[in-house]
Amino acid sequence: MASELIQAGAIGCPECDLLGEIPALAPGERARCSRCGFLLAVSYEDPFGRAFSFALSALIMLLVAMAFPFLSITASGISNSMTLLQTVSYLADYGADVIAFLVLVFVILVPAIMLLLILVLSLSLRRHRFHPLLQAPTRWLFHLNAWAMVEVFAIGVIVSLVKLAAMAHVELGLSFWAYLAFSGLFLLAFSSMDRLTVWSVIDRIRRSGT
181-203 residue pLDDT tens: 999 999 999 988 888 788 878 88
* Residue 45 neighbours by CB under 8 Å, 6+ apart: 2, 27, 28
| Nearest Cα to Cα of residue 176 among 195, 153, 194 | 153
Q: Is pTM, for the whole model, over 0.85?
A: no
The predicted-structure confidence for 26-70, as pLDDT tens digits, reads as follows 676 777 877 787 777 777 778 889 999 999 999 999 999 988 888
The predicted-structure confidence for 86-114, as pLDDT tens digits, reads as follows 888 888 887 788 888 988 898 899 999 99
Q: How far is CA 178 from CA 63, 148, 185, 198, in A?
A: 9, 18, 10, 29
pLDDT band, very low/low/confident/very high, at 115 (cuts 50, 70, 90): very high
